[in-house]
Every structure is written in C-alpha cells, then in structure tokens.
Amino acid sequence: MKKIAVLGFGGRGTGYSYLCKKMKNDFEIVAVIDTSKDKLNLAKKILKLDDNQLFSSLDEYLKQQKNADWMFVCTQDKLHLEHSLKAIQKGFNLLLEKPVACTAEDCIEIENQAQKYNVEVAVCHVLRYSKYYSKIKSIIDSGILGQIIAIDQVENVGYWHQAHSFVRGDWGNSQKSNPMILAKCCHDLDIAVYLSDSKCVRVSSQGKLNFFNKEHAPEGATQYCLGGCKAKDKCPYDAEKLYLDTIKHLPSFAIKYM
C-alpha cells in the first residue's frame, strides 16, 4: 500500500484524494497540507483524518518524520518549483499537477533534483489514459490512416471560464501564473506529441487583450461584482450569478465533496 501526502486541497487535490479513498486497498492518505483552515476541515471530514494529520504549510509538514511514499503537488503553478524541490529533497516521489512549472529552466531543475535524489516524478497528463485518446492512438498506430502529416486540435474555452480563470482569476496574468497556452493548453500540446509520436520543435502563441479591459467596462460597473454593480442584471459575467447562485442550487450529492 502506498502512503500519500496531499499538498493543496483544491479541486485536483480533493479529486485525487477521493480516488485514493475509493482504492483504499492500494492507497492511504496520511497527511493533507493546505493554507486554508476550511480546506483542512473538509479534508478531515472527507478522509476521516485526525488533527495531527493536517498541516497549514509544507514546511510544517516536512519538519515531521517522513511518513509517506508519494506527495501529490496540487498547488498553484507558481509554487510548483519551490514545493517540488522541498519534497524531492526530503525523499518524496511526486505526483505533480500540470504544468510542471512556469519556465523550461524550472522544469529542468525539478528533473535534475529528482535524478539526484533518486525519486520519481509523475506528471498529471491524464488525457493520455482516457478511452477517447487511447482509441485514437491505437487507430493511428495501426497504420490504417497512412502517414500522419498534420493534427488539428481546437481548445474551446467557455466564456465564463475565460472570464473567471483567465481574466479575473488565478491565471489572469503572467505575473501570477503561466501564459494561457501553458495554463490551458498544456494537455493539448502533450496530446499532440503523444499522437504524433514525435518531439516538439517549436511552439508559438499570440493574443491581445481586446475586450476585457477598462474601456469596455459597462456603465456603473464596479471593480468586483458584489460591490453594488449597476450592470449586473444584464451582465453575462456576473460573479454572483455564475458562482454563488449556482452553488445554492446544486443538488446535495454534487456538493458532498466540495
């Protein structure tokens, strides 16, 4: 049985923890680390953990005697390098959320340290293991399609996802996180390499902030949607309508593990 420490109990951390809970004969979660007390209380409830298995920082957890085989690194992209190196140097194998890090140099540093300390680093490019892409891969590899000379992929981003993640959210600018092509499309880039069975030679990206700027703000808009915005009734991006009202109307089974 593999013992697991989960670093970051957000969407990915809770999802992987739930899967470990279902496969209890193979995995045991022995620690959860998160800066949010609410997240730690949620982990305690879902995973039936004791208070001494909950930690408010990675440094606090690493002071303890090592009690896990793997650490799931599910923190924000900008923190991956720091968190990964600290865990590697303590001897943990890593399940590392994608993208690995924010720069090529940081990715190489994680690889070098993993080799130095003889630990494994698995990256969560989970689409490779989906039935959909596995079937496409088997068809391509069979040769029935002939020589593949081009692969066309389209990453459709919902208007609400664009607004809440890549404009006003945690991935809103490169100072806080990665550029959008890495934050949103690293799965697509990985799938292109996987299906073509070849290495990437060059990647380019272009874009411009044409719409989501002060010049296009509706009359009476506030900086945050809950601050008495006069445009909220007709605004498709209203945060209260998109998030708070949605959560209020979710069925109980949908919020059980939120």
More confident residue, 125 or 92: 92
pLDDT (tens digit, 9 = 90+) per residue, 159-191? 888 888 888 888 887 778 888 888 888 889 999
Q: Tell which residue, 49, 52, 53, 99, has the closest CA to residue 73.
A: 99
CATH T-level topology, domain 2-124: Rossmann fold (3.40.50)
Q: Quick check: 257 pLDDT over 70?
A: no
Q: Quick check: 30 pLDDT over 90?
A: yes
More confident residue, 213 or 74: 74
Which of 54-68, 76-90, 96-110, 203-217 shows the lowest mean pLDDT across its residues?
Answer: 203-217
Q: Quick check: 213 pLDDT over 90?
A: no
pTM: 0.83
Residue 251: which pLDDT band, with cuts at 50, 70 and 90? low
Q: How many CB atoms lie within 10 A of CB 146?
A: 7
Where do the CATH 3.40.50.720 domains begin and end in the chain? 2-124
143: left (phi over 0), alpha (psi -120 to 50) or beta: left
pLDDT of residue 63: 95
Q: Which residue has the tokens 């299906």?
A: 195
Q: Quick check: 252 pLDDT over 90?
A: no
Q: Quick check: 149 pLDDT over 80?
A: yes
What is the total residue count of the chain? 258
pLDDT of residue 226: 81
Report helix, strand and coil shares of the chain as percent, to nearest 5.
45, 10, 45
Mean per-residue pLDDT over the chain, rounded:
90
Tokens, residue 106: 């940081």
Q: Tell which residue, 174, 14, 179, 172, has the closest CA to residue 97.
A: 14
